[in-house]
Structure 1
Amino acid sequence: TIGAIALHAVRNLDAKLGEVVAVLGAGLVGQMAAQFLALSGVRTIVLDYDQARLDLAAQLGAEKCLNLSDNGIEQNVLALTNGLGCDGILIAAATASSEPFETAAAIARDRAQVCMVGLSGTEFPYAAFMKKELSIIVSRSYGPGRYDEDYEARGIKYPAGFVRWTETENLREVMRLLASPSAQKLDVTSLISHRFAIDTAEDAFKMVLEKTEPHMGVILSYPESVSDVPAKISPANPKSGDCVLGVIGAGNFAKAVLLPELKKLNGVRLHTLATKRGSSADHAQETFGFEQATTDEASVLGNPDINAVLVATRHDSHAELTASALSAGKSVLVEKPLGLNREEIAIARAARENSTGFFQIGFNRRYAPLAIQARAELVKIDGPRFMVFRINAGHVPGDSWLQNADEGGGRIIGEMCHFIDLARYFAGSPIVSVQADAARNSDGAADDVSATLRFEDGSLATIAYTSLGDAAVAKESFEIFAGGTVLNLDNFRSLSVTTDGSTQNHTSGGQNKGFAGALKAFAEAVASGGPAPIDENELVESSLATIAVLDSLQSGQRIDLGIDI
C-alpha cells in the first residue's frame, strides 16, 4: 500500500519521458516515488538532509541527489535543467515546517506542478507560487476509488476508459513491478533497514518513535510455523441450559448497544465473534469477553458447540446468514430487517421450516417496559384501536450505506419497520392492508413518509416518519385511542393512561427501548429449548408489511397483504 501511495502521487504529476521531477524527502514514500519516476523515463532529482538516504536513492536510480544542508541548491537544479527548473516537484517530507513548499517554489519552472503526498506544513509562499503560476495537488492515498463507499464496499467499478488507474490498478501495478524478473522492477529489499520478530514489536516502535537510530523500512516478522501455539479449546458440548452464542458483525451499533447488553446477561456464553476485520474482532473479543475471535463466518455457522447466532451485519447479508444459521440447526436473532425484499424473506422462511432452531428479529421496542405496560392496558379494552405514531427520525446523508437500496435498503426497510411491528404488537390483530405516501425531497430519498395500516379487527394505525425535524424534539411519540381511553407513550420515557377524566402516569427511570429485554428473552428461549418469544409468523407479517409500504409508494395504491403465513 505504501508503494501504491507513492505511485498515485507520481501519476498526479503526469510527468513525461525526459521531464525533470524533484522528490523532496527520501523516506519510504519518497524512495519509491523516485524509483517509479526513473522507471517511467523521468529524470529524477532527490533532495533530503540525510546523506545516507540520498546515497540509497542514487543507488536505486535517481539521476541526481542534493543535500539540503548544502548551499546552491537552486543553482544546481537550474544547471541540470538547462536553466528551466523542474517540471514537477513531489513533496514526500514528514515535517511541520513549510520549508518543502519554499524549496519547491525556488526550483520549479514556470507553471510547474507541485504534488504533496507527505504530511508537511502548508504555509506556502504565495508570491513565489503566483509569479510562476504553480499548481498544487494534494495526493489522495492509493488513487481513485479511495474513500468511495460505492467503489470500496459495494464493488462498483469505474469505467477504464474514464479512470484507467484506480486504487486497485495502482496496487496491482506495484505488485507487478515487485515480481518483475527484469531489471526494470521496484526494489524494496534495499529499503529494509531493520527486522524485528513480532514478539519484540515494542522495541521496533520505540526505535521509530524515539528515533534512537537511523532507520528506513522496518519489518515485523511472524513465525513461519505456529503449530506449537496451543489453540483455545472450548468444551465439546454445551451444558444443558446454556445459550452458547456466536455473533457475526461488530459495527458501531453492535459495539455500542448489543454487545454491552449481552455481556451483562447471565446464562449466555459468548463463544465466537466474527467480523470482517481481524483487528476489530480482536478488540471486541477483549472488550466483551468472547472466547474466540475470527474473520471467518463459517467458524460460527459450522461450530457444533454454538446453538445460537446473533446477526449484526449490514442489511444485505441478513437473510443469507439467517438461513445459513437456521440450516445448521441454530436459533437466530437477526437485527432488523430480516431481508430487503420478499425473495430474501422467503429464503429465511424456507430455512426455518427445515430447522430445529427458531429465529427472531431485533424488534426490541416490543420489550420496552412502557410498551409492555401499554399493551397490558390495551388488552383490557374491547374493540378497535386508533393509533398515531410520530417519528422525528433525523437526517441521514444520501451517501450513507443505509440509504443504498442494495446494501441498506433505505430507511423504510431499515428503520420504519420498527414502528410497523410496534403497531402490530399494540393492535394484537393481523395487518390486512397498507397505504403510504411520501413528501418528495430534493435528493430523491423517501425519508418523509406517512403510512396507514389497517388491521383485521378494524384497528387503524398512522405512522408519520420524517427526517425534516429538529433533533431537540423527542424522536418517538405514540398516541393510542381505544374504548374511551387515551394512551400517550413519549419516547419510551413516560406513559400516560387517561380514562374517564383521570390520568395515570408511569415512567421507566429513563429511556428504555427494550434492547436488554429482547436479548434476554431470546437467550432464555434458547437455553430452555422453549418456543420463540415472538411468533415468527407475526415477525414475517411485520416484515412483509414494511415492504408493502414501498410498493404503495411506487404504485400510489393501497396494498392488500393477503399474507399466507
Structure 2
Amino acid sequence: MKQVVQNYKSGELAVLDVPVPGCKPGGVLVRSAYSLISTGTELMKVSEAGMSMLGKARSRPDQVAKVMQSVATNGLPATYRKVMGKLDSYTPLGYSLCGVVEQVGDGVDDVAVGDLVACAGNEHALHAELNWVPKNLYAPVPDGLAPQHAAFGTVGSIAMQGVRRGEPQLGDVALVIGLGLIGQLVVQLLTASGVRVVGVDPDPERCALAERLGAAACGDPASAAVEASVAELTGGHGVDQVYLAAGGGSNEPVELAAKLCRDRGRVVDIGKCRLDLPWNAYYEKELDVRFSRSYGPGRYDPEYELEGRDYPIGYVRWTERRNLACFLDLVARDRVDVEPLVSHVADFDDAVETYQRLKDGELKAVAVLFRYPGGTDRAAAGQTPEAAAPTVTVPAVHVRSNGGVTLPARSAAGPVRLAFVGAGNYATSMLLPHLAERDGVTLSTVVTTTALSAANAKRKFGFAEATTDLDAVLGDKSIDAVFVVTRHSSHADLTRKALLAGKAVFVEKPLALTEDELAGVLATVEESGNDRLQVGFNRRFSPLLREAKRQFGARTGPASLRYLVNAGRLQHGSWYLQQGSEGSRFAGEGGHFIDTASWLLGADPVSVYALAPAGNEDLQIVLRYPDGSTATISYVTTGAPSFPKETLDLVADGKVLKLDDFVRASVHGPKKWVSSRLPKARDKGQNAELAAFVKAVRTGGPMPVPLESLVATTAATLAVQTGLAGGAPVTLAGPR
C-alpha cells in the first residue's frame, strides 16, 4: 500500500510503498476514502523538517533537554545513534480521515465489514491507503453524511473540546482569535450553542467566510472595528470567553484576549501560539486561563486509546470518541457546515505536490482533502469485500523420537539469515547498527505491527523484505534466527512461536512476565527439542567489565556485591508505565542487573529478598548465592539525573572491583589496576553479545549463555514482585 511520509532530518516528503498493517484485536482495518490535511499542525511539522539542525533545536527546546540528559546517562555515541536514527526515519503525516471497514479484529462488535467510519489519531488515521484503528479512535458515520465531510471528524473534535473547555452558555459573547480550520469550526459550534461570536484574523477572506458561517462580526486584530463590535455586543463589559485558535510566535493574541475579555472571563488555548501572559492585565481581571488538550478525555491515555477501556459516562460525559460521534451528528444534521471550508481536493497520488504548494503559499487553503483511488467508490456504495487472508506456507514439521522438531541444517560457510520482529528505538539504535555492518550476516526480513516502522528499518539497515505478517517469517525456511524486540507483554508468546518454527531466538529482556509464561517457554523447549535461545542480557559482554573481572581474578571466599541503578523517573506516557499489560518496571529491566551480578559471582541465586520504601518506586533487592555470597541491588527512581546510572562494587578476598557506569573500572588489591582515564563511549556489551550469538547460530555451537542461567535470572526477577507482596525472602527452586 502507499503512505505519505516525511524524513524529519532532510525534510523530504514522499508517497512510500509500505506493508499493509495487520488487523489486531480491539480494532478495525480501514481503507481510506478521504483524509484531511491539517493546514496548521501538519504544515508546522513540514516547515520544521525543512529547518537546519540548529533551527530544529531552537524550535524544540524540550527535545534538546532530553538529548542532553541522554548524553549524561548513556554517553554521546549511543545518544547520537539514537537521535540520528529518529531524525533520519520516515515519519507519518495525518490524523483525520473517513474510510470503509475492510476487516474487523477480535473483540469488536459495533461495526462490520463495509461500514463507513471516521477515524482519529496521529498514529492510526494517517494519510495512507489502509490504517489499523483501535476501537476508541473511530466512530460510525451517520446515514447520509458524505465521506468527505466525515473526514473532518478529528479536527471537529479538537474544536469541540476547546468549546467545552470554555463552558459557554446561551446568550454569551465569545471572541475567536485565528480563523483557520479550527477557528472556523469553533465559530460554528459556538453559534450552534446560542453564542454570539466575534472573529479575529488578518486575512479578510477568512473573516468573510466566518461571517457567512455565523459570526456576528469579524475583522483584523489591529482594527478598531473588532473592539467596537465587542463593546456593542457586550454593553462594554467584554466577551465571556476568548478562544485562541491561532499559531505563530506573536504574543498579540494573548494580549488582545486580555484587552477584550470581561472581568473573570475565560481564555481557552486551542492552538499553539505564544503565551507570554501580561501579568497585570490577567491579574486585574482575574482571567481564567485554560488549555484544551486535543480531541478530549482519553487522549494520550494508552489504556483508553489502545486497549479500548472506556470511561464511565457518569464520570466522563464527553470522551474522545463521544466528541467524534457528536461532531459527526452535528454535521449530518446540518448544524455545522464543513463544505465551505474545503478549499481543494487532491488525488492521493499528488500528495507531495500538494504539500509543496501549501508550503510555498501557492495554494491558499483552509482545508485540503486527499481523495483515495477506489476508496470513494466503496464509500459511496457503503460496502466493501472482506480483505483476503494472506497466504501462509506452513513448513512441514519433522517429528523426532522425542516429539521435537528437526532444526534446519545450515552451511557454516553461508551467511546467517536474520529476521527481526519489532523495529523500535532499542532495535534500531543498539542492535541493528551492529548487525548491518557485520560480515556473514544477511538481514532477511523485518516484521512490525505498523507498516511504516518496517519500511524505515528496511530502508536504513538493508533488510531484503519488510512485512506485517509474522507467519510468513516463521514459515520461511531460509531464516536461521529470529530477533524478538517488541514490547514486554509479547516476548514469551513470540519466543514460543519462533522456537516451534525451528528458529534460533534472540529475545530482548524480559523473557517472561509471569511464572506461567516462563513455564510455557520451557514447555516449548521440551516439546520442540529446540533450546537455541538467547536473552538480551548484554552487560556480561561489556569489554570493560570483562577485563575488570579478569583483573580481579578467581575467588576463594564468599563475595559481597553492591549494585546501584539510578534508573530515574520515566516520562509521562511511557509504555513502561503500563504495568497492567507490560509488567512492573523492574520486571522489564531488572534482569539486566541480576544477570550481571550472577555472572560476576559465577552462580545463580538461591533466594531473593525485596523491600520497597513507602511512597516511591525505589527497590532494595538482596540476592543470596550457594557459596554464601550476596548481591544487593538498589534500583532507585528518586536519584539525581546528573548522577551515573550504574555503579557497582564487588568485594572479596581483600580485593575490590569498582565499575563506574561502563566508562571506567578499577581493581584494588595486592596489585592495583585502573582502566584508561581517557573518555570512552559506554560499551554495555551489545556488539560482543551479538557477535557471540551469530557465531553460535553459524557454527551450531553452544549459545552464549546457558539456558539454565537465563531461566534462573528470569525466575529471580519475577520473585522480586512475589517477595514484595509477601514481605519475606523467596526461595528459588533449582534449575528445571
TM-score (structure 2 length as normaliser):
0.65
Structure 1's 15 and 297: CA in aligned 2 closer, same or farther, altered over 3 A? farther
Whether 2:588 is the aligned partner of 1:414: answer yes
How far did 1:540 drift?
0.8
Whether 2:334 is the aligned partner of 1:183: answer yes
Letter in 2 for 1:3: G
Offset from partner CA, 1:516-545 (integer Å, 9 cap, x none): 121122223333444433222221111102
Whether 2:503 is the aligned partner of 1:330: answer yes
Whether 2:632 is the aligned partner of 1:463: answer yes
Q: Quick one: distance in 1 between partners of 2:250 and 2:422?
A: 43
Partner of 2:420: 247
Offset from partner CA, 1:475-507 (integer Å, 9 cap, x none): 23242536x8765555545666677x3456667
Letter in 2 for 1:209: K
Partner of 1:16: 169
- Of residues 684, 691, 695, the one that matches 1:524 is 695
Partner of 2:540: 366
Contact between 1:249 and 1:311, CA under 8 Å: does it hold in 2? yes
Letter in 2 for 1:183: D
Contact between 2:566 and 2:644, CA under 8 Å: does it hold in 1? no
Contact between 1:419 and 1:463, CA under 8 Å: does it hold in 2? no
Contact between 1:493 and 1:507, CA under 8 Å: does it hold in 2? no
- Of residues 398, 402, 405, the one that matches 2:579 is 405
How far did 1:85 drift?
4.4
Partner of 2:731: 560
Structure 1's 335 and 7: CA in aligned 2 closer, same or farther, altered over 3 A? same
Bigger drift between 113-122 and 193-202 goes to 193-202
Q: Quick one: distance in 1 between partners of 2:355 and 2:273?
A: 22
Structure 1 or 2, whichever has the larger Rg, is 1
Letter in 2 for 1:51: P
Partner of 2:214: 62
Partner of 2:368: 218
Offset from partner CA, 1:190-209 (integer Å, 9 cap, x none): 32212344554443333322
Q: Secondary structure at the match of 1:546?
A: helix
Letter in 2 for 1:547: L
Q: Quick one: distance in 2 between partners of 1:460 and 1:220?
A: 66
Q: Secondary structure at the match of 1:72?
A: helix
Q: Quick one: distance in 2 between partners of 1:80 and 1:485?
A: 84
Letter in 2 for 1:271: S
Structure 1's 251 and 441: CA in aligned 2 closer, same or farther, altered over 3 A? farther
Aligned-pair identity (%)? 36
Q: Quick one: distance in 1 between partners of 2:639 and 2:286?
A: 47
Structure 1's 517 and 412: CA in aligned 2 closer, same or farther, altered over 3 A? same
Any residues of structure 2 matched to 1:118-137 within 5 Å, and which? 118-124=271-277, 129-130=282-283, 132-137=285-290
Q: Secondary structure at the match of 2:625?
A: strand
Bigger drift between 133-142 and 403-412 goes to 403-412
Whether 2:563 is the aligned partner of 1:390: answer yes
Whether 2:239 is the aligned partner of 1:86: answer yes
Q: Quick one: distance in 1 between partners of 2:312 and 2:632?
A: 42
Partner of 2:356: 206
How far did 1:459 drift?
4.6
Structure 1's 88 and 302: CA in aligned 2 closer, same or farther, altered over 3 A? farther
Partner of 2:721: 550
Contact between 2:199 and 2:218, CA under 8 Å: does it hold in 1? yes
Structure 1's 276 and 112: CA in aligned 2 closer, same or farther, altered over 3 A? farther
Partner of 1:233: none
How far did 1:8 drift?
0.8
Letter in 2 for 1:365: R
Q: Quick one: distance in 2 between partners of 1:24 and 1:73?
A: 11
Q: Secondary structure at the match of 1:257?
A: helix
How far did 1:74 drift?
2.8
Partner of 1:231: none
How far did 1:393 drift?
2.5
Gaps of 5+ in 2: 1-153, 376-394, 396-407
- Of residues 76, 80, 104, the one that matches 2:229 is 76
Q: Quick one: distance in 1 between partners of 2:255 and 2:545?
A: 66
Q: Secondary structure at the match of 1:87?
A: strand
Offset from partner CA, 1:431-454 (integer Å, 9 cap, x none): 3x21324351532x1x24141222
Whether 2:257 is the aligned partner of 1:104: answer yes
Letter in 1 for 2:524: A
Letter in 2 for 1:291: A
How far did 1:83 drift?
5.7
Any residues of structure 2 matched to 1:132-147 within 5 Å, and which? 132-147=285-300
Contact between 2:507 and 2:534, CA under 8 Å: does it hold in 1? yes
Higher RCO, 1 vs 2 (CA within 8 Å, ≥6 residues apart):
2
How far did 1:137 drift?
1.7
Structure 1's 94 and 325: CA in aligned 2 closer, same or farther, altered over 3 A? same
Contact between 1:374 and 1:487, CA under 8 Å: does it hold in 2? yes
Q: Secondary structure at the match of 2:734?
A: coil
Q: Secondary structure at the match of 2:580?
A: coil
Letter in 2 for 1:267: G
How far did 1:515 drift?
0.7
Contact between 1:25 and 1:93, CA under 8 Å: does it hold in 2? yes
Structure 1's 161 and 453: CA in aligned 2 closer, same or farther, altered over 3 A? same
Contact between 1:423 and 1:461, CA under 8 Å: does it hold in 2? no
How far did 1:270 drift?
1.9
Partner of 1:475: 646
TM-score (structure 1 length as normaliser):
0.83
Whether 2:345 is the aligned partner of 1:195: answer yes
Offset from partner CA, 1:134-163 (integer Å, 9 cap, x none): 322222222223344554466554443222
Q: Quick one: distance in 2 between partners of 1:238 and 1:223?
A: 46
Bigger drift between 312-321 and 299-308 goes to 299-308
Structure 1's 40 and 260: CA in aligned 2 closer, same or farther, altered over 3 A? same
Q: Quick one: distance in 1 between partners of 2:314 and 2:547?
A: 62
Q: Secondary structure at the match of 1:250?
A: coil
How far did 1:332 drift?
1.8
Q: Quick one: distance in 2 between partners of 1:348 and 1:316?
A: 14
How far did 1:174 drift?
3.4
Q: Secondary structure at the match of 2:486?
A: coil
Partner of 1:513: 684
Whether 2:518 is the aligned partner of 1:348: answer no
Q: Secondary structure at the match of 1:347?
A: helix
Contact between 1:105 and 1:129, CA under 8 Å: does it hold in 2? yes
What's the C-alpha RMSD, in Å, of the aligned pairs?
A: 3.6
Q: Quick one: distance in 1 between partners of 2:210 and 2:369?
A: 20
Contact between 1:416 and 1:465, CA under 8 Å: does it hold in 2? no
Structure 1's 512 and 141: CA in aligned 2 closer, same or farther, altered over 3 A? same
Letter in 2 for 1:249: G
Contact between 1:24 and 1:90, CA under 8 Å: does it hold in 2? yes
Q: Secondary structure at the match of 1:161?
A: coil
Structure 1's 24 and 294: CA in aligned 2 closer, same or farther, altered over 3 A? farther
Letter in 1 for 2:257: A
Partner of 2:439: 266
Q: Quick one: distance in 2 between partners of 1:439 and 1:124?
A: 43
Contact between 2:621 and 2:720, CA under 8 Å: does it hold in 1? no
Letter in 2 for 1:417: G
Structure 1's 488 and 129: CA in aligned 2 closer, same or farther, altered over 3 A? closer
Structure 1's 488 and 116: CA in aligned 2 closer, same or farther, altered over 3 A? closer
Contact between 2:566 and 2:646, CA under 8 Å: does it hold in 1? yes
